[in-house]
């Protein structure tokens, strides 16, 4: 059974960058809406596009997956 996770991260205050290129803080953030095993996550359907899932694959093995409207895609930070 999927476990809802109320974690969210707000980043910055939406200020524009300066003319010198210094970041101004951007707006927005993200929320992880699902925490479950890979098998349970890939079996899910009907989630909104962009839903983020925290996958617990095994002891000390974790992934982030994002729903593209059809399939769950593993997020690779490269």
pLDDT tens digit sequence for 2-39: 444 333 333 333 444 444 444 445 556 767 878 999 99
Name the helix (H) or strand (E) containing 40: helix 38-42
pLDDT at residue 28, rounded to an integer? 63
CA distance 21 to 44: 42
The DSSP annotation for 22-37 comes to: ---B---EEEEEEEE-
Query: What is the pTM assigned to this prediction?
Result: 0.56
Question: Considering the chain, what percentage of its residues have pLDDT values greater than 90?
Answer: 33
What mean pLDDT comes out for the span 33-59? Answer: 89
- pLDDT of residue 66 exceeding 60, the answer is yes
Cα–chain-centroid distance for residue 28? 13
CA distance 60 to 48: 28
- pLDDT of residue 53 exceeding 70, the answer is yes
């Amino acid at each position: 059974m999927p476990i809802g996770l109320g974690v969210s991260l707000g980043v910055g205050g939406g200020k524009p960058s300066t003319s010198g290129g210094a970041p101004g803080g951007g707006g927005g953030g993200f929320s992880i809406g699902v925490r479950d095993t890979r098998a349970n996550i890939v079996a899910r359907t009907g989630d909104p596009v962009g839903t983020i899932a925290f996958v617990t694959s095994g002891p000390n093995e974790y992934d982030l997956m994002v729903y593209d409207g059809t399939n769950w895609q593993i997020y690779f930070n490269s």
